[in-house]
Amino acid sequence: MDQRKTSRRLRLALRSLRALIGQGVEFPDAHFQASQRYHLTEQQDRELVALYDTAEVDSFEIISLYTRAQAIADGSLVDVSGLAKEAGFRWPVAVTRGVWAEVVTPTPHNEQEGQSKKGRLWDTLSMARLAAKANKDDRDSVLFKVLVLRDRKHRKVTLKLVLSFESPEGGPCLTIMLPNED
């Protein structure tokens, strides 16, 4: 396996480990889950422990925690994992309320012209998937554009696809947001 894939796998495992511990999973169990999820070799497993130990994870105090599940429950995020799976995504996907309002939801006039939430969401997911596949730099976020019909005019809207490790299972998940959203 080439060095780039190895280091990416290790970074993903470290993020997963941190996310699991942040959710209250004890270190041995979290370590085992992260190692198994990313199929780490024995050497990579030792490197994972060393990286975790040097990160000084316990050197800060968490003041408050707002989880992805809470964001979906209160409507700040819209879970679109069902359609995303059909579009080829392996991990859970959500869009922000801003993306839902600005890109996914057509105006009443656009609905009369055949635009639908499902169709617009499919377009958004398709473009996000293409952007993710084109991401050769192993960045955690990537910008992409979607063509949206608004008031009889097509316009390109820039969106951001972000990889994080906030899924309830502690694994990777994706969020599509406006560029100015966090």
- pLDDT tens track for 97-123: 999 999 999 988 888 888 899 999 999
CB 131 within 8 A of CB 144: yes
Domain boundaries, the chain: 3-59, 68-177
Q: What is the rounded CA–CA span in Å between residue 5 and residue 180?
A: 30
| Average pLDDT for 120-134 | 93
**What pLDDT, on the 0 to 100 scale, is given for residue 1?**
43
| Average pLDDT for 146-160 | 89
Kindly tell me the sign of the dihedral angle through the C-alpha atoms of 128, 132, 135, 141: positive
Q: Mind listing the pLDDT tens digit for each residue in 28-74?
A: 787 888 888 888 887 887 787 777 766 555 555 556 667 888 888 99
Kindly tell me the sign of the dihedral angle through the C-alpha atoms of 72, 138, 132, 100: positive
Its pTM stands at 0.67
